[in-house]
Structure formats: C-alpha cells, structure tokens
A and B are shown apart, each in its own frame.
Chain A
C-alpha cells in the first residue's frame, strides 16, 4: 500500500529530476516552443516541495491535490495548468484514504490524464504530454517499471510527429524531427514514480 509519505517522496523525486533535466527540457522547448519549459517546471516543482514541507498533508490525495495547486499557481506556462490538473484530478480521485493500492493509483492517474485531455483538447498523436502519459497509464497495470518504459518510449515516439496543439503547432511540418518537451517531462514524472516505488520495494 502507498501512503502520503510515498506520494511526497514521488513529488520530491520528480522535483530533483526536473532540476537535473531542466536544461535539456528548455533546449527541447527552444527547438519548437518558447524555451521556458525547463525553468517553468523547475519553479513549479520547487514550489511543490516547499509547500509539502510546510503543510505536510497526511493523505495521498491531499499530497497530489496540494502539488497540483502549486503547479497551477507557479509554473507560468501551459504546463502549469496541465500538470496541475493531472495531479489535482488524481488527488481528488484518491479521496481521503490514508493508503491506496496500485490499482487505485492507476485509476486515479487515468482520471488525471482524462482531465488533461479535456482541458487541453489534445489526443494521442498530437505531439504532447498525452503521448507519454496515456501509454504510461495503460502500462501501469503491468507494474511501475512497465509504466516508465512506456512513458519513455511514448516521449521518444513524438519525434516524427507533427504538432497539433500548443505553440509548436504553429510550426506545422517544421515541428517534425524534434522530441516534444511536454512528453519528455511527463516521462520524467513517471520515471520518478517508478524510482520511488522501486526504492519502496513495490
């Protein structure tokens, strides 16, 4: 079972990963976006870890809801409301339970991803974070490692796609040949989840 501390460690691991990879995310974003994805997410996840340290929410749902709220408030780019919605919807789906199982987590993340698709209007194949998140959630039934692999493969598979959402879509065919920064950061988020689960012995 996964408790609030597990979810706090997941968010902390995600923040550390975003810190490590911020330059790469921004470099990917400078090719087809506005070159701020790494620094935006860095600011957002620093706010997440600071809020979790301060408030220490005591249920998995509350950890994710608070984290999502911080991302919406602090990121400053489209990834803020999108990741914020992902975490907040997932948090709401987990409710007030003190501990949740892997199946509940998978169902909650599914609800989160559905919320992101509704908010941004993106579908699989549009060269967005959805291209990493949907395969990851699909694979979660087979375990955390499978979800990480699926997210990373999904992110890499955005390279030949033409962007159909967001600023990159204005580039038309010129968006082809670049890996999507949002799908890349989504893969980091899922990898942080898998790392946390492995360290937990799940």
Chain B
C-alpha cells in the first residue's frame, strides 16, 4: 500500500482501437475498479498504426497519482519506444516502469491488482504472473 494512492496503468498498442478496447476490457473485468487510472496510448498521433512517444508521455502523465505508473505494451516499436523514453530520464513521470507482461492478460491483472490498492511492485508482479497461465 502506498498512502491510498493508486498505481496508474498505461496501455501502449500499435492500434488506437486495441489500446482503448483493452483498457475498457481490463476496467470492465476489474468490476468496481473504475477508480484506477488507466490510459490507452495507441497508434500514431495521425491516427495510423504505430507508436507515438507523445501519446505515451501524455498518457503516463494523465494517470500519475504519485504511486508509480505501470506501462504495458504490445510489441516491436511500442516496447522500444517506452524503453527509449525511460532511458531519456525526464519524459515520463517518476516511478514509471515498463512491465514485462502479456498485453491483454497483463492489463487485466494489473488493473485488478491496482484497484486493490497494491503498490507498483505488486502490480508489476501480477501482470508478469499472467505469462504463467497456459492455455493448452
């Protein structure tokens, strides 16, 4: 627990629709978790497929409540852009972390865990744990 402040969640996808839909799905499956700040950062600023550093920075700033921000990504440039922004040092809020997790399952786990008031370490662990769920 960290002073009742909730961890923020940013969902980065190559597609604006995917990012927004996964955000909606994760919040919906978390039930009464609407208090958790979740922001999608999907596609390019022009509305195309790709990754926008500006949209990621804006999304992270919008969900930062002082308890850290967990960023989940889909693939390729989404991962690399977040890593490059983290290396920059001042582009993302203090306590922003790229979480190594499957995008959809990890988002659900992260939002549910954050809704319980868990700290960033616990949110990260829950999201990463989603990798261990085998489907076949």
Point out residues on A near B: beta carbons under 8 Å.
Answer: 34, 36, 40, 69, 72-74, 76-82, 84-85, 88, 115, 119-120, 166-167
What is the CB-to-nearest-CB distance from B100 to chain A, in angstroms, rounded to a whole number?
13
With both beta carbons as reference points, the residue of chain A lying nearest to B53 in the complex is identified as A73
Query: Given A69-B88, A72-B85, A85-B87, are A78 and B52 also a contact pair (CB < 8 Å)?
Result: no
Q: Is the CB of A78 within 8 A of B77?
A: yes
27 residue pairs bridging A and B, Cβ less than 8 Å apart: A34-B49, A36-B50, A40-B50, A72-B53, A72-B85, A73-B53, A73-B54, A76-B48, A76-B50, A76-B52, A76-B77, A77-B50, A77-B77, A78-B80, A79-B77, A80-B51, A80-B80, A81-B80, A81-B81, A81-B84, A84-B84, A85-B84, A85-B87, A119-B83, A119-B87, A120-B80, A166-B76
Residues of B within 8 A of A119 (CB): 80, 83-84, 87
| Residue from A69, A72, A166 within 8 A of B81 (CB atoms) | A72
Known: A85-B84, A85-B87, A119-B84. 6 other contacts (CB 8 A): A40-B50, A72-B88, A78-B77, A80-B80, A115-B87, A167-B76
Task: Check: B62 CB closer than 8 A to any chain A CB.
Answer: no
Task: Give the complex CA separation of A22 and B48 in angstroms.
Answer: 19
| Residue from B44, B48, B53, B76 within 8 A of A78 (CB atoms) | B76
With both beta carbons as reference points, the residue of chain A lying nearest to B48 in the complex is identified as A76
| Residue from A76, A82, A166 within 8 A of B51 (CB atoms) | A76
Residues of B within 8 A of A85 (CB): 84, 87
With both beta carbons as reference points, the residue of chain A lying nearest to B54 in the complex is identified as A73
Task: Give the complex CA separation of A120 and B83 in angstroms.
Answer: 10
The interface size of chain B toward A, counting residues with CB under 8 Å, comes to 17
With both beta carbons as reference points, the residue of chain B lying nearest to A84 in the complex is identified as B84
Point out residues on B near A: beta carbons under 8 Å.
Answer: 44, 48-54, 76-77, 80-81, 83-85, 87-88
Residues of A within 8 A of B76 (CB): 77-78, 166-167
| Residue from A76, A79, A82, A120 within 8 A of B44 (CB atoms) | A76
Q: Is the CB of A72 within 8 A of B50?
A: no
Query: Given A78-B76, A166-B76, are A72 and B48 also a contact pair (CB < 8 Å)?
Result: no
Task: Give the complex CA separation of A84 and B88 in angstroms.
Answer: 10
With both beta carbons as reference points, the residue of chain B lying nearest to A79 in the complex is identified as B77
Q: Is the CB of A80 within 8 A of B83?
A: no
Residues of A within 8 A of B84 (CB): 72, 80-81, 84-85, 119
Residues of B within 8 A of A40 (CB): 50
Residues of B within 8 A of A73 (CB): 53-54
Task: Give the complex CA separation of A167 and B14 in angstroms.
Answer: 13
| Residue from B51, B83, B87 within 8 A of A77 (CB atoms) | B51
Residues of B within 8 A of A78 (CB): 76-77, 80
Task: Give the complex CA separation of A115 and B52 in angstroms.
Answer: 21
Task: Give the complex CA separation of A76 and B83 in angstroms.
Answer: 14
Residues of A within 8 A of B85 (CB): 72
With both beta carbons as reference points, the residue of chain A lying nearest to B57 in the complex is identified as A73
Residues of B within 8 A of A120 (CB): 80
